[in-house]
Structures are given as C-alpha cells and as structure tokens.
Amino acid sequence: MKKGFSSCVVIAALVILISAGSVFAADDAGKNFISSKVGVGYQGMVAGSFLNGISVRGWIGDRVGLEGTAFYGKVDAEIEENGVKEDMVKADMWMIEAKAMYALVSRNYSKFYVGGKLGYGQVNMTEYGYKALDGASVFTPGLFIGSEWSFPQLPEVGFNFDVGYSWLLFGTKTDESPYEYENINMNGVNATFGIHYYF
C-alpha cells in the first residue's frame, strides 16, 4: 500500500508541475463553457470495490468548484477473530461525499484541478446469519487531483476523472456479532469518474 501511495504522489506531483508550466507559458484560450453552471449526473467510485452515485457538481466562476454525491454499493469487508483473518465478504454501504475543487488550469473545454473531500457513510454486513456490522459509521477524508472536459460539439456535457488518497475513520457498531474485528477496504488510493449535464 505504501509503494502504491508513493507512486500516486509522484505521478500527481509531475502532473501538477507540467500543468503549472502550461499556465505560465500561455494564457487561457477563453472562458470555460461550464464556468458558473451547475450539472447533474452520474459519479462512480473505485475503491477496492465499486460504488455508484448520483452527483451534483457546480463551478463558481472558472476556478472554484463544489460537488456533492450520494453513493451506494458493496465494499470488501475483512473479518478477524482472535487476530486471525477469518473471511473476506461483501458489505452493503451508502455514503454521502462532499468535494471542494480549485482549477489550476481552465481552458475553453477542460479544467485540471486539485481538491479535498469528506465522506460519511454507513455499512451493513451479514455473515453466516449474524449481523456482523449493523449501521457502522464510516468517515473518509481525502485529497485528490482531477480533470473535467467536454467536446466542442456537446459543451454542456462534462466528463470527469479524479484520483486521490482517502483515510478511513471507522467506528464499529455491532449487533449480535460474534466477531472481534471488522475491516472495511476503503483506505488508500481510489478513483472516481463521472458525467454531468450542465444547465
């Protein structure tokens, strides 16, 4: 995990340096089409497992962006008993995530940005007829870089891709559980991608 995170940091630093160089080398070609607009659409998250979400994303001027997403799906959960890994199962999870973004580069049909996020969700898992997790709370703060672009023929539709690192703050709340420890696979490098229609 540390090696993967280090690679992600190096790649992110290189992309930021290259993008910063392009900012100083040339002025923006013009106002970005999705600036000062709000879009609604789909957002997916890959974090060991896959979560689907409905998203609202908006840009305040050319540089500042905000996004809110409601995710639902299944995540990997690892059960340990007496320090021994017992099983890897799927747990149901819903999560609400808020993002704040700042565009380092803003072109007519694209933006490159950095940002921070905070997610809150709950996990439910049943294993061998037991409620191993029942409404356990999950907090996932994180940092990310990303890009959003559209095509000149269809400028009101924005496509985005973000990659970053999330920290898992996990409070177990068990009900009738014989297990001593449950671990949700949400900590580490993750990616999101989506499509929004801007009004």
| Domain boundaries along the sequence of the chain | 2-198
Are the C-beta atoms of 194 and 55 separated by less than 8 Å?
yes
The answer for residues whose C-beta is within 8 angstroms of residue 183's C-beta and 6 or more apart is 77, 78, 79, 80, 170
Contact by Cβ (8 Å): 188, 1:
yes
- Nearest Cα to Cα of residue 183 among 80, 74, 72: 80
Structure tokens at 149: 């672009």
Task: Compute CA 123 distance to the chain's CA centroid, rounded to the nearest angstrom.
Answer: 17
pLDDT in tens, 50-93: 899 999 999 999 999 999 999 999 887 776 666 666 667 778 89
Q: Which fold has domain 2-198?
A: Porin (2.40.160)
Residue with tokens 């008993």: 81
What's the distance, CA 172 to chain centroid? Answer: 22
Q: What is the pLDDT of residues 104-122, one digit of tens each?
A: 999 999 999 999 999 999 9
State what percent of residues in the chain have pLDDT above 90: 51
Query: Whole-prediction pTM value?
Result: 0.77
pLDDT at residue 185 in the model = 72
State the chain's mean pLDDT as an integer.
80
- Rounded distance, CA 137 to CA 95, Å? 10
Check pLDDT > 70 for residue 14: no
User: How far apart, in whole angstroms, are the C-alpha atoms of residue 145 and residue 190?
Assistant: 11
Residue 137's pLDDT band, with cuts at 50, 70 and 90, is confident
